[in-house]
């Protein structure tokens, strides 16, 4: 029997995206992101710098970019 497809979802889209990715690409991307986090934590001396960057990026994205994208 065929599974019911919810509204806005096509046949076969219920599978998670990372399961469709080839193993080599998935593990490479995971290791690169992990190494980036580790290197960032090693080289950033002051956590306030990280909070300032995240706050500035989040503010500009949420207040200027997303409303325009949603309007389109």
3-state secondary structure of 64: helix
Q: pTM of the predicted model, to two decimals?
A: 0.51
> Which tens digits make up the pLDDT trace of 20-52?
889 899 999 999 999 998 998 899 888 898 888
CA distance 30 to 28: 5
CA distance 44 to 36: 12
| pLDDT above 50 for 62 | yes
Whether the CB-CB separation of 44 and 50 falls below 8 Å is answered with: yes
């Amino acid at each position: 029997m065929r599974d019911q497809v919810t509204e806005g979802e096509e046949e076969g889209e219920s599978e998670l995206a990372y399961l469709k990715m080839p193993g080599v690409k998935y593990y490479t991307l995971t290791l690169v992101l992990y190494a980036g986090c580790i290197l960032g934590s090693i080289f950033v001396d002051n956590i306030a710098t990280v909070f300032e960057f995240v706050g500035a990026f989040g503010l500009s994205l949420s207040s200027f970019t997303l409303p325009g994208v949603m309007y389109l």
